[in-house]
Structure 1
Amino acid sequence: MTAFAFSGLNLALATPFDDAGRVDFARLEANIERYLGAGITGFVLSSGTGMHVYLSPDEAQQVIERGAKVINGRARIIAQTSALMAEDVVMRTKRAQDAGAEGVMVLPPFFEGPTDDEGVVAFYAEVASAGLPVIGYNVPHAVGVEITPDLFRKLAAIPGFASVKDSSGDLAAQASLMRTGLPVMNGADTLVPYALLAGASGLIWGGANIAPKTCLAVVKAAQEGRWAEARALWRKLEPIMSLIWAGDYVQSVYAAAAMTGHGAGNPRKPLRALPADRLPAIREALGDLIDAEKP
């Protein structure tokens, strides 16, 4: 059996912004170097945590191009190329491939798009024709399309459809996808060790922006079957991963990452930085990670 191309931890990179709300490419490059130094071997550029939907197509492409140039073969690159129209996804995917992406993550049709299986399959078949492996995205509470096991099997029959990232936050639902025998990637921060134990093929993890070294250690311990060690490491991460997952996810990741030395500025409007009165809870949840994760 061919090894899954996107195994292990793939960091859903937070896109840095300057005080004027512009993409801060100098900080983007510096942060990527910092994460490479911590041992990250996979990146998702223009990710959801990186505010893909609030980047213009040109900005998203620049993030992919500049990120790929810095990474320069030292880690795998997945690019998010989601758009409302399949033609735009294909165009974005081809541009991402030219920049050096090895796979793409794509939301199903959203904002009044088709919700029937046939419509979703047709959408992804068109996207896969662009030539890069496609990772579908199961986040039904956000887009109104659920990738069920039956739909997953239909999608997997498309040449070039590689996997589904499950961000439903429902471990039972994710396990049902895994029971198809097809590769599933966990995208719910609170489920990481449980998803790995259940058989997840890989992770796309936004919270890893906050604590890359500890996140990598959890994944390595789990992959090597050292479950007691994985659980002990997870206890350090669980408070902050639970807190950010509870609400205002992107804003919380940006705030927490700044405290551990991996700052990306503030999220772009219409999102706003977390108010000052919520920062003590972030700091408390981080605990010893603040010192342990300092670059």
Structure 2
Amino acid sequence: MRTVKWNGVYPAVTTKFKENGDLDIPAFLKNIEHQIDAGVNGIIIGGSLGESSTLTHDDRLALLEATVAAFGDQTDVLLNVAEGATTAAIELVQRAEKAGAHGFMLLPPMMYKPTDQEVADYFKTVARSTKLPILLYNNPVDYKIEITLPIFEQLASEANIQAVKESTRDISNVTRMKNKFGDRFKILCGVDTLAMEELLMGADGWVAGLVCAFPKETVAIYELVKAGKIDEALEIYRWFLPILELDINPQLVQNIKLAEVMTGIGTEPVRAPRHILVGDERKRVIKILEDGIASRPILPDYKNL
């Protein structure tokens, strides 16, 4: 079985579409190539940023198979699983395992506010349907379900539940997890605007959004922090923050796709019901990106620290 290390930068990649809404696999793979060249440690397909709610199981598997075929020997390839029914989650997990997935990001049950016990049982049941490693997604801000410490206690015996994407927006939750569980669960920051702070508090990795448009800058921050070069990392991070704030916005997909276009490594079409940015909001985002690109920092040799 493939071992996922759960450290480094894991882009939650955008899904590329043609103007008619069909998948654009060549554009999708072009962006992933830039991620790998920058030194990321894994790819997460079909997450919130990947327009998960508009993707069918067949869409997800097509993206997965193309990524594994092109880059599976170079990086971890994870598929997001966000389902309303346990049976649907198991079906997708088992199909994806056969298609070559290296692991999964797993959300709590969607479209229903479950009890804590229902959340725990859902995760256990899905985990037991596969041998592949799992990253749980803890995002009570957007999904209204928190994976609490007592839930994690129940899940600690499930060997393939190995990590959590920490998106509670509470930096101290990193310390709570470390105090309670030590290194049992790897912790990956899931909020771009808190990434350096959580890395300094002991997070193992970063599930990133703006990495889709700025892969080298994102990986450089991670590598500099882990090498103890905090001042160098902070200089890049402070430059990056106005751009990173585009990730904590209801239109994060549109924002980041526009950023990908402006850095030359993506396309802008989205799948309905989304629309691309227009009007004053588009002008506002373009101004942020133009200012950032004009002052883009010169990066150190972050791959050889």
Residue from 230, 233, 258 that aligns with 1:230: 233
Q: TM-score, normalised by structure 1?
A: 0.91
Closer, same or farther: CA 4–179 of 1 in aligned 2, 3 Å:
farther
Q: How far apart, CA to CA, are the structure 2 residues paired with 1:290 and 1:160?
A: 44
Equivalent AA in structure 2 for residue 252 of structure 1: N
Residue from 242, 246, 264 that aligns with 1:243: 246
Percent identity over the alignment?
28
TM-fit CA distance, 1:174: 4.0
Cα contact 1:210–1:260 (8 A) shared by 2: yes
Pick which of 45-54 and 173-182 moved more: 173-182
Superposed CA offset, 1:59-114 (max 9, x none): 11111111111113111111112211112212211222222222100111122252
Q: How far apart, CA to CA, are the structure 2 residues paired with 1:139 and 1:191?
A: 14
1:120 corresponds in structure 2 to 119
Equivalent AA in structure 1 for residue 55 of structure 2: L
Equivalent AA in structure 2 for residue 36 of structure 1: I
TM-fit CA distance, 1:253: 1.1
Cα contact 2:8–2:40 (8 A) shared by 1: no
2:216 corresponds in structure 1 to 213
TM-fit CA distance, 1:18: 0.8
Q: How far apart, CA to CA, are the structure 1 residues paired with 2:112 and 2:27?
A: 36
Cα contact 1:17–1:267 (8 A) shared by 2: yes
Q: How does 1:1-295 map to 2 (within 5 A)?
A: 5-116=5-116, 118-129=117-128, 130-180=130-180, 181=182, 182-286=185-289, 287-289=291-293, 292=296
Superposed CA offset, 1:125-165 (max 9, x none): 11111221111111113322111222222222223111111
Equivalent AA in structure 1 for residue 217 of structure 2: T
Q: How far apart, CA to CA, are the structure 2 residues paired with 1:88 and 1:230?
A: 42
Cα contact 1:152–1:177 (8 A) shared by 2: no
Cα contact 1:94–1:131 (8 A) shared by 2: no
Q: How far apart, CA to CA, are the structure 1 residues paired with 2:132 and 2:294?
A: 38
Closer, same or farther: CA 246–50 of 1 in aligned 2, 3 Å:
closer
Superposed CA offset, 1:162-216 (max 9, x none): 1111122222334423332232211011111001001111211122102001001
TM-fit CA distance, 1:263: 1.6
Q: How far apart, CA to CA, are the structure 2 residues paired with 1:4 and 1:32?
A: 18
- Consecutive unaligned residues of structure 1, counting only runs of 5 or more, are none
Q: TM-score, normalised by structure 2?
A: 0.89
Equivalent AA in structure 2 for residue 26 of structure 1: P
User: 4+ runs of 1 displaced by more than 6 Å?
Assistant: none
TM-fit CA distance, 1:4: 6.9
Cα contact 2:6–2:163 (8 A) shared by 1: no
How much is the aligned-residue C-alpha RMSD, in angstroms?
2.0
SS at 1:80 equivalent: strand
Superposed CA offset, 1:6-47 (max 9, x none): 210001111101111111112112222222223223100112
Equivalent AA in structure 2 for residue 14 of structure 1: T
Cα contact 1:109–1:123 (8 A) shared by 2: yes
Pick which of 7-16 and 95-104 moved more: 95-104
TM-fit CA distance, 1:291: 8.1
Cα contact 2:30–2:265 (8 A) shared by 1: no
- Consecutive unaligned residues of structure 2, counting only runs of 5 or more, are 298-305
